[in-house]
Amino acid sequence: MFGLNKSSLFSDTKKLEREIDGFVDILSEVGLVFKSIVPTYLNHSANGKFEEMVEKVKEMESKADKITKEVEHTLYEETLIPDARSDVLRLLEHMDELIGMYQGNCYHFSIQKPNFPKEFHQDLIELTETVVNCVEALCLTVRSFFRDIKTVRDNAHKVTFYEKESDIKFSSLARRIFDSEMPLDQKMHLRYFVEKIDRICDQAEDIADEVQIYAIKRSV
Amino acid sequence: MDISIIIFLLGGLFLGWSLGANDAANVFGTAVGTRMVRFKTAAIVCSIFVILGAIISGSGTTETLGKLGAINALPGAFAACVAAGVSVYLMTKAGLPVSTTQAIVGAIVGWNLYTGSDTNIRVLITILGTWVLCPVIAGVIAMGFFTITKNYLLRRKLHILRLDAYTRTALLLAGAFGAYSLGANNIANVMGVFVPISPFTDVSISNFFVFSSKEQLFLLGGLAIAVGVFTYSKKVMFTVGNDLLKMSPVAAFIVVISHSIVLFLFASQGISNFLQSINLPSIPLVPVSSSQAVVGAVIGIGLLKGGKEVQWSVAGKITIGWFTLPVIAALISMILLFILSNIFNLTVSF
């Protein structure tokens, strides 16, 4: 009635809720896959499992892109959450970039095949774990933004904590790489990979800061 | 019907039109301005409920205005309406959030003074008291609602999209209630002065339902308000929604519901009778300002948020309006009555 179809409004809402939740799930899952990809590359890069995992990340990235477009369409077509629409879309885009960064890292490993000496394996795996934990904390922050703004600050704080941890691990690993006896070109090459992984955390922290601002705007 | 009667009624219809154009924005402004509700939806709901409120519950406030001064000649009523309309226009141009209520009261007192009729001081004091009470009560109600709603939402942890859907529905329902209350409370400003001299006669439909002359006047006034809503309120709604009241849709709902409750309280015969029946002081049925109820509610929420966002200058302007608008309306009313009786030789009172 009067252009406000109640059942359609609520069904659109439920569908969108599921899509947004699904999007955050993808970000979290890509992280978990990435956490296994690095040790897989370091230990068994030749047996095909690594490429299989890269393909999986690619599929998840395409799925996330599709969801972003669908959410964007529905939010604008149905003029939903007019006061927070641009914030939500920007948030999804930035999270999509994060998925893209995971995917980019996987491709770089697949194409450039960096040669990490065994002595750096554990440090690289730990750095990767910290980065994935950081993004996990971001996923919680984003979920809080949508459902429970009271806990946004607490979860965003965890993102900042992991980002700092990641910086420490990155610096230590980079220092060890440059202190080693490897040729400079290899040092530069490995530093490039370590830096690219660490950048995921920087992006996650930027998004968490954004979410905190959006949460303040969202408060009643 | 005599053509002169139609011309005189036009004064009230003009006032109705301006009420629809301006005050509908208090009910649906934020919802439409923030695009939570479409203008067409808002205009249809607003028009239907304003008319219903006017016809069903418009009598109480009209009676109070009648006690203040019963204008007994059509040209006199015409002068009062035009004086009210012109003074509201002048004060709005000056940037003061005034209302037709204060203007019509001033205009009626002007008629009393010009014709030498008595002004019921007790009724006048009651009316003046409600002007102060209206924004204060709206503020208190808004503070209560705001606290309850905020705590409820924090506990319920609704998804942002679900909250959006609920808020849209709530804004529409609160808007419908607000429009009903606006019609019930403010129809007296538009048609009240014409009631004692209504040119209509009661119409009986199959001896079952009587459509009284007063109700016919209120229907006419309600239609004038509806025309105002459809023809001019869109611009005002977007101004209110985007410039004046920058607030979340949930806060907007609280403002609308608080404003609606206040207007309803001051128009409901039922609540007034109930309070009397349990030996509590009854609420005077007085037309109050819809704009000032909104400002009161906004200030109430602002105070709860720490008071930093409260624009005290607006509160100051309201107070200035309480004094200046009725005086200006009374003066214009007297000038118009002088012109009508001395230049056009019309009888402005019996």
Please name the residue of chain B whose CA is at the shortest distance from the CA of residue A75: B161
Which CATH number belongs to the domain containing residue A189 in this structure? 1.20.58.220
Give domain status of residue A3, yes or no.
no
CA dist list (Å): B4 to B68, B77, B108, B140, B214: 26, 13, 21, 46, 19
pLDDT, tens digit, for every residue of A181-217?
Answer: 999 999 999 999 999 999 999 999 999 999 999 998 8
- Residues B61 and B134 sit within 8 Å (Cβ to Cβ): no
pLDDT at position A210 is 95
Domains held by chain A: number? 1
pLDDT of residue A205: 97
Check B159 against A80: CB less than 8 A apart.
no
In a domain, A24, yes or no: yes
Range of the domain at A116: 9-218
| Chain segment B61-73, per-residue pLDDT in tens | 888 888 887 788 8
Rounded to whole angstroms, the Cα distance separating B64 from B58 reads 11
- Closest Cα of chain A to B92: distance in Å? 29
Q: How far apart are CA B286 and CA A67, in angstroms?
A: 55
- Structure confidence at residue B171 as a pLDDT band (50, 70, 90): very high
pLDDT value for A45: 56
pLDDT, residue B338, reads: 94
Would you call A2 and B44 a contact, using CB atoms and an 8 Å cutoff? Answer: yes
In A8-67, the residues whose Cβ lies within 8 Å of chain B are 9-10, 13-14, 16-17, 20
| CB nearest to A81's CB, from B37, B150, B164 | B164
Nearest to A10 among B44, B165, B251 (CB): B165
B71-124 residue pLDDT tens: 888 889 899 999 998 888 887 777 776 778 888 999 999 999 999 988 889 889
Higher pLDDT, B198 or B183: B183
Most confident of A92-101, B153-162, B228-237, B316-325: A92-101
Q: How far apart are CA B350 and CA B347, in angstroms?
A: 7
Give a yes or no: residue A1 inside a domain. no
Q: What is the pLDDT of residue B102?
A: 86
Give the residue, B203 or A114, on which the prediction is more confident.
A114
CB contact under 8 A, A3 and B40: yes
DSSP string, B159-208: -HHHHHHHHHHHHHHHHHHHHHHHHHHHHHHHHGGGGGG-S---EEETTT
Label each residue of chain A as H, E or C: CCCCCHHHHHHHHHHHHHHHHHHHHHHHHHHHHHHHHHHHHHHHCCCCHHHHHHHHHHHHHHHHHHHHHHHHHHHHHCCCCCCCHHHHHHHHHHHHHHHHHHHHHHHHHHHHCCCCCHHHHHHHHHHHHHHHHHHHHHHHHHHHHHHCHHHHHHHHHHHHHHHHHHHHHHHHHHHHHHHCCCCHHHHHHHHHHHHHHHHHHHHHHHHHHHHHHHHHHHCC
Dig out the tokens for A174 from the structure.
């980079």
Percentage of chain B beyond pLDDT 70 is 97
pLDDT of residue B318: 74
Query: Is the entire prediction scored with pTM above 0.90?
Result: no
Residue B253 pLDDT greater than 80, yes or no: yes
Q: Which pLDDT score, from 0 to 100, does residue A207 have?
A: 97
On the question of pLDDT at B177 being above 50, the answer is: yes
A36 within some domain: yes
Instruction: Give pLDDT, residue A6.
Output: 54
At B257, list the tokens: 């519901």
Q: What is the pLDDT at residue A103? A: 96
Closest-CA distance, B305 to chain A, in angstroms, reads 10
The answer, yes or no, to whether residue A5 has pLDDT greater than 60, is no
Q: Which among B37, B169, B248 has the least Cβ separation from residue A220?
A: B248
Residues of B in contact with A3 (CB under 8 A): 38, 40-41
**What are the sequence ranges of the domains in chain B?**
3-342
pLDDT at A136: 97
Per-residue pLDDT at B193 exceeds 60: yes
Domain assignment present for A119? yes
Which residues of chain B have a CB within 8 Å of the CB of A150? 154
Any B CB within 8 A of A79 CB: yes
Average pLDDT of the residues in A148-172: 95
To the nearest whole Å, the CA of A63 is away from the closest chain B CA by 21
Q: What is the pLDDT of residues B275-328, one digit of tens each?
A: 888 888 888 888 888 888 888 898 898 888 887 777 777 777 777 877 888 999
* Option in A6, A13, A150 nearest B161 (CB): A13
Taking the CA of residue B298 and the nearest CA in chain A, the distance in Å comes to: 13
Q: Which of A94-108, A178-192, B61-75, B222-236 has the lowest mean pLDDT?
A: B61-75
C-beta atoms of A17 and B159 within 8 A: yes
Of all residues in chain B, what percent carry a pLDDT higher than 90? Answer: 35
Residue B86: which residues within 8 A CB-CB, separation 6 or more? B332
